[in-house]
Chain A
Amino acid sequence: MAEFPLLTKDFGTQDLHERAVYERTGGYQGLREAFKRFTPETLIAEVKTSGIRGRGGAGFPTGTKWSFLPKDVFPRYLCCNADESEPGCFKDRYLIDKSPHQLVEGVLIASYALQVNVAFIYIRGEYRDQRLLLERAVEEARAAGFIGKNILGSGFDCDVIVHGGAGAYICGEETALIDSLEGLRGQPRLKPPFPAVKGLYGQPTVVNNVETLCNLPHIVQRGGEWFKSLGTEGSTGTRLFCCSGHIKKPGTYEMLLGTPIRELLEEECGGMRTGSTLKAFQPGGGSMQVLLPEHVDLPLDMNEVQKAGSSLGAGAMIFMDQDTCLVDVSMRLVDFYQHESCGKCVPCREGTYFESQLMHKLEAGHATPAELATLSDICANMDGRCFCPLGDTATWFVMSAYKHFRDEFEAHCNAGECPVKARARERAA
């Protein structure tokens, strides 16, 4: 029988961030069972069976990623990616705020499966309180014998280090994260070699998202087959969706994958706020393409949303109403990518700069049709040509918005002001 929710089940429990309380809700049972019932190999197989795909954005099957580690090469490292900086995304913060031990337990289970003796949790600098909560959880776990030497008599040793970033979106990209963790400027590395082969300190390394790891205690306890029975064939389990924008109840909601987006919007989020009707939404965070009202009947399924031309990405849903200017939204996102471009490759460094210049001119109503064409050109020359996906994704929203709202983009040309805002102002007057 499907039971739901999974990760957020006990989030109403008082003081869940404390170890004793977490253990009372069944916490650290997953780790105990992992030692008792699984060898590292069978544990990797179990995770493969579950069909779980990474929750960090790319949706790569976790068990498959784990099996890429070369045999007998040690030491190996695990990096939990808690750099969460995707525009619209705040689920990892929520998971840590509510239940830091669930993450620590997930990190330990993954470390056991991968035979990792030092695991890192890389958390973005802005998440100060979350870092402190995690540090405290790690110390509590150490005191209780879940971290350290010969954990629970299993013979397995593992240390967990919480590492605070210092403000750089690119450090969420797995190889940039590794560079940053090595004490370098956080710039992406050329792949291959992939981190699984040569990652942190040149050793085999797995990078997994916070939410991915938080699923592990549940997969261990209930089994991979059970997990696979949740959700859809291509998207198993549940996911946390961060909902924001013009809705009645913004927040994080854990949903069974396969549920229609409409249900998330209308039941969980309470629908659009009074006076607002849906004009467009972004289903996966700032990097992903815009979708239209007709798409709310799509299921929360990674493959289905991809077929519609976008992606569930990092699980952020941004809903926009009739008065939203898609040029303005594009401009803000482009500004973000320009600000966060690490400068390593030319198409991204220069491309985002020109994109931003043109977007500002367009939004202000001063761009010419020829400049709008140039914008398209620039994007076409960036997408697929950048060193890492940051530069590619800097074009996805703009280009999808231009495709779906071409009139709106064109109406900005030589208009002297933003026509959408002018219209909204008139209506309000």
Chain B
Amino acid sequence: MSLSAATRAEIETARERYPQARSAILPALWAVQHEVGHLSPDGMEEVARILHVTASEVEAVSTFYSMYFQKPHGRHEVIVCINVSCALRGADDIVAHLERSLGCESGSTTADGEFTWSSTVECLGACGGAPAMQLDHRFVENLTPESVDATLAAARASSPHATTGPGDAVGAEPAAASSGERRRGAPAGGRTRPRRRTKPEASDG
């Protein structure tokens, strides 16, 4: 058995939750990645066994989705958005800065194994806080070279897997930091100032 009993139990629970077992493939792959750090062939075989599908089907599904890792990644994952809204507010400079700071190209892992980073054209849904990135799936917005460095330093100093990492288990707690922010009323998607407004006279409705 390549997976821990807890991971296997998690996959079995997912299987029971859906009307059809196969629907649990995505959550099961997340569970494997959470435990192993990437999708190991053994892990995928075990998913296949538990969900009663073939290993090649599981693998075929896994390669379709960009967030599953087919090989080991660094301890932390950094993804920087270079789509339009971020580009308009300096994403290219952030990318250049990251490349210098981490000393390796987009798509690779630092020599010390701390970070795997990449720039992505996939809009992260943080355009109101552009330029933006995610560190271990947590948003870091309104980036400056200084804030990037501070974020990286904090991640480096954190104990191994202090964050639950990319493949965190179903049912984990939301990040204390970001939900705390939300509690103070700082909107995650940028600022909002919804205002009272009456129907404009000119509307044709």
Q: Footprint of B on A, CB under 8 Å?
A: 2, 4-5, 8-9, 11-12, 14-15, 17, 75, 84-94, 97-98, 118, 124-129, 132-133, 135-136, 161, 163-169, 180-186, 201, 229-233, 236, 242-246, 249-256, 258-260, 267-268, 282, 286, 299, 301, 316, 318, 320, 324, 328-329, 332-333, 335-336, 339-340, 342
Contacts and interface: CB of A to CB of B under 8 A. Distances in A.
Interface string B17-29: 1111011111101
A283 to B, nearest CB: 13
The 6 closest A-B pairs by CB, nearest first: A251-B190, A166-B65, A167-B67, A94-B189, A258-B203, A167-B66
A180 B22 CA distance: 10
Contact of A135 (B82, B171, B183): B171
Nearest to A134: B174
A183 B26 contact: yes
A164 B127 CA distance: 21
Contacts of B27: 163-164
Interface stretch (B1-9, B102-110, B118-126, B149-157): B118-126
Interface residues of B, number: 72
B30 to A, nearest CB: 7
A126 B134 contact: yes
A17 B184 CA distance: 12
Contact of A88 (B24, B85, B193): B85
Given A84-B125, A166-B67, A8 B61 contact: no
Interface string B77-92: 0000011110111000
Interface string B156-168: 0000000000001
B127 A166 contact: no
Nearest to A397: B84
B84 A88 contact: yes
Contact of B188 (A94, A126, A184, A243): A94
A49 to B, nearest CB: 14
A166 B188 contact: no
Nearest to B87: A332
Contact of A129 (B175, B196, B205): B175
19 contacts: A85-B123, A89-B123, A93-B189, A97-B188, A126-B122, A133-B179, A135-B171, A166-B26, A167-B67, A184-B61, A185-B60, A185-B61, A245-B88, A245-B89, A250-B127, A251-B189, A256-B199, A259-B200, A333-B84
A98 B125 CA distance: 15
A87 B84 contact: yes
Contact of A339 (B122, B172, B182): B122
B204 interface: yes
B190 A250 contact: yes
Of the listed residues B68, B168, B170, B191, the one surrounded by the most CB atoms of chain A closer than 10 A to its CB is: B191
Given A201-B20, A245-B88, A336-B121, A250 B199 contact: no
A353 to B, nearest CB: 14
A126 B120 CA distance: 12
Given A91-B189, A249-B191, A332-B83, A166 B23 contact: no
B138 interface: yes
Given A236-B205, A251-B187, A166 B66 contact: yes
A393 B18 CA distance: 33
Contact of B23 (A94, A169, A181, A339): A181
Nearest to A329: B84
Nearest to B185: A12
A48 to B, nearest CB: 17
A167 B122 contact: yes
B205 A5 contact: no
Contact of A164 (B26, B61, B128): B26
B125 A85 contact: yes
Given A5-B194, A87-B84, A244-B127, 8 more contacts: A87-B123, A97-B189, A127-B125, A129-B137, A161-B17, A231-B199, A250-B127, A336-B121
B18 to A, nearest CB: 7
Contact of A242 (B23, B65, B127): B127
Nearest to B190: A251
B100 interface: no
A136 B196 CA distance: 31
Contacts of A11: 187, 192, 194
A212 to B, nearest CB: 18
